[in-house]
Structure 1
Amino acid sequence: MSTSILHITNGDSTTNYLKKLHFSGDFITWREMLCEGQTITDVGSETFWKSRFNFFKTSYKVSKKKFIDYTLKEYRNLCNKKEASEIVLWFEHDLFCQINMLAVISWLKRYRKGYHISLVCSGKVQKSKDLLGLSQLNPEQINNHFKNRIVLNEDDIEYADYIWQLYCSESPLRLETVNQFNPMSPFKYLAAAIEAHLQRFPSIKNGLNNVENTILTTVQKNKLTSKDQLVNQLLRDQKNLGFGDLQYENKIDSLQNLFSSFNPVKLSKNGKQVLENQINFYGQLRNDISYLGGSKKYSFLYNDESKKLLQITS
């Protein structure tokens, strides 16, 4: 093996920041958002990438060329990087990053068995009330995170792979006790991310999930003059999702029947009644093509009181 380090980062902003700070080694940028759309366990397989392209094409109108240029070419670069003294993973605390992290570790378990793998994960930082992303850290903080990176042992890698298998399964029910499986694991933000994931199943109260209810609540609490303002407000307010503007725009579009106007932004009568749990919108939203991991989104309901999922049997 060579003496170089291979950095696998959560996005272009992190990659560019590390290069700007003159971190040595090779860089691979993991350009996916596996927290959305159907996922299967065999990361990197032909079936896996076909499924992911179908999702991006259907939900985000991504062309095959863009998918190949943006995601697949970088993945192929990763496949070709077979020699490194250490593989360093750079991921953040939020749902978006934690799910991607699990997938990468699952891939490494299969294709880079025995390699020295370590993790840099940002979130809690001294003297900051907010959880911070990697690009929000100053150079000293970034270097301290790197210096104190966590070496993942075989049990850690097995655990991450196990949670990935559960995330990709047809039922999310076993994920409810994820933080009890290995409370001493180095993945200290994973339990909160999985909790946020479970809350993305429709609420038993009104048929909207936590993200969708947050969108309606944000409209009610703020005087917003455009959809862009709404998206920006959602981005500022989010705590542990890590969503980008395209994701929020996609979700707003799926709820457009609950809006009477986007200039200014106002809820319709139905939108207000749904938000107040006077109307259950589950029937209008339900479909068989929406997935969260390996589970059909509308085959489960989230009980906000018990914080448990209920499986719908047909």
Structure 2
Amino acid sequence: MKASFLHITNGDSTTNYLQKLKFKGEIITWREMLCEGKTTTDVGSEHFWKNRFDFLKTSYKTTKKTFIDYTLKEYRNLCNQKQQDEIILWFEHDLFCQINMLAVISWLKRYRKGRKISLVCSGKIEGSNKLHGLGELSENQLQEHYKNRVTLSLDDIEYADYIWQLYCSDSPLRLEAIYAFNPMSPFIYLKDALQAHLQRFPSIENGLNSIENTIINTSNKNTLTSKNQLINTLLNEQEVFGFGDIQYERKIDSLKKLFTSFNPVKLSKIGQQVLENQKNYYADLRSDTSYLGGARKYSFLHHNATGKLLQITS
């Protein structure tokens, strides 16, 4: 009797690629961006989805219909897939994908106990210094990745679930202490992704986090004629975050007071002062409703020199 497969992919482009190559088995697309907004450990629960919809509605004006049609219907399809012998996860090296991957593994640990789970994860390619997404692989490279997929042990699954629990906790401090201590883990890109996550808390130096500082630095060092050109430059230069254009657009809008113009892109006097660490913008950005995982974004500060987080006590 032939083995049956369930593929869970990181997005529609990977799903389309697998369909084009006629991979055997059912294919489910995980349509979420859990690296943004508040997350809870109970992946797939009513509480979990309500929380996610509230964030997407507030931050991205996502309608209920879109959320149901795009995300929930696909999730319900996943729930109906119960018979396959092997579940294959297709995710990439960046923060966006790695956090989604942890959540999916946590869900599988709870609802598909004892099932064989394997991982295809793209990133390093022989002969290239650049990290590659799944869609950037040639057909042969993708097939090779599939052939060399890693079967996750029970310990691997427990570890991924544990990191997910820490990501969803109200303090990132334990995550800071734990993420580098599993060199034998098959999740070879997780360390860098979590390091990037910790750098998303505001810096002590100027109150902007790593991404926000990258936005004003990129604006300052390049001659850019429009916001779209700024976004495209950020997309081309980023590697570890894996963000899309709508995420950068939202982040740029939150910093609009640091710009005098987006046509061309030009920093304001305050923007220059923040860039040069002469002004701290923390108080201007601070919000009690901004979350990274389970932690309030503005309850912690990142010290760039040491790479450590400090908790703000009220």
With normalisation by structure 2, the TM-score equals: 0.99
Distance 1:3 1:194 in 2: 35
Q: Report how far residue 2 of structure 1 moved.
A: 7.8
SS at match of 1:101: helix
My pick for the range that moved more, 172-181 or 119-128, is 172-181
Partner of 1:40: 40
Contact 1:178-1:191 within 8 A present in 2 as well: no
What does 1:187-226 align with in structure 2 at a 5 Å threshold? 187-226=187-226
Deviations 1:92-113, CA, capped at 9 Å, x for gaps: 0000000000000000000000
Instruction: Please state how far the C-alpha of 1:210 moved relative to its aligned partner.
Output: 0.3
The equivalent of 1:124 in structure 2 is 124
**What residue number does 2:31 align with?**
31
Task: After superposition, give the CA deviation of every residue in 1:192-220 in whole Å (9 maximum; x if it has no partner).
Answer: 00000000000000000000000000001
Matched, 1:94 2:94: yes
- Counterpart of 2:282 in structure 1 is 282
Partner Cα separation in structure 1 for residue 181 and residue 127 of structure 2: 31
CA distance in 1, matches of 2:12, 2:88: 16
Aligned residue type for 2:14: T
Letter in 2 for 1:63: T
Give SS of 1:119's match.
Answer: strand
1:64 match: 64
Question: Which whole-Å CA distance do the structure 1 matches of 2:24 and 2:55 have between them?
Answer: 35
Is the 1:53–1:64 contact (alpha carbons within 8 Å) kept by the matching residues of 2? yes
The alignment-based identity, stated in percent, is: 71
Match of 2:227 in 1: 227
Distance 2:61 2:250 in 1: 11
User: Any gaps of 5 or more consecutive residues in structure 2?
Assistant: none
CA deviation profile, 1:40-79 (whole Å, cap 9, x unmatched):
0000000000000000000000000000000000000000
The question of whether the paired residues in 2 share the 8 Å contact of 1:94 and 1:241 is answered with yes
Residue matched to 2:16: 16
SS of residue paired to 1:166: helix
Q: Contact conserved, 1:94 with 1:240, CA < 8 A, in 2?
A: yes
Q: RMSD of the alignment, in Å?
A: 0.9
Give the 4+ runs in structure 1 shifted more than 4 A: none
Matched residue of 2:17: which SS? helix
AA partner of residue 96 (structure 1): F
Q: 1: CA distance between counterparts of 2:177 and 2:260?
A: 40
Cα deviation per residue 1:119-157 (whole Å; 9 max; x = unaligned)?
Answer: 000000001110000000000100000000000010000
- The number of equivalent residue pairs is 314
Aligned to 2:103: 103
Q: CA deviation at 1:177?
A: 2.5
| Deviation by residue 1:140-184 (Cα, 9 ceiling, x = unmatched) | 100000000000010000000000000000000011123343221
Question: Which residue matches 2:113?
Answer: 113
Residue in structure 1 matched with residue 251 of structure 2 by the alignment: 251
- The amino acid across from 2:109 in the alignment is K
SS at match of 2:179: helix
Take 2:251 and 2:29, find their aligned partners in 1: how far apart are those partners?
26
Q: Distance in 1 between matches of 2:304 and 2:260?
A: 27
Q: Which residue is 1:310 aligned to? A: 310
Separation of aligned partners in 1, 2:217 and 2:132: 24
Contact 1:2 1:84 in 2 (8 A): no
Distance 2:25 2:178 in 1: 34
User: What do the CA deviations read for 1:246-279 (whole angstroms, capped 9, x no partner)?
Assistant: 0000000000010100100101000010010000
Structure 1: gaps spanning 5 or more residues: none
CA distance in 2, matches of 1:183, 1:140: 29
SS at match of 2:278: coil
Q: What is the one-letter code of the residue matched to 1:224? A: L
2:238 corresponds to which residue? 238
1:164 matched to which residue of 2?
164
Equivalence for 1:264: 264
SS state at 1:181 partner: coil
Q: Quick one: distance in 1 between partners of 2:258 and 2:180?
A: 38
1:83 corresponding residue in structure 2? 83
User: What is the letter of the counterpart of residue 192 of structure 1?
Assistant: D
TM-score by length of 1: 0.99
SS at match of 1:224: coil
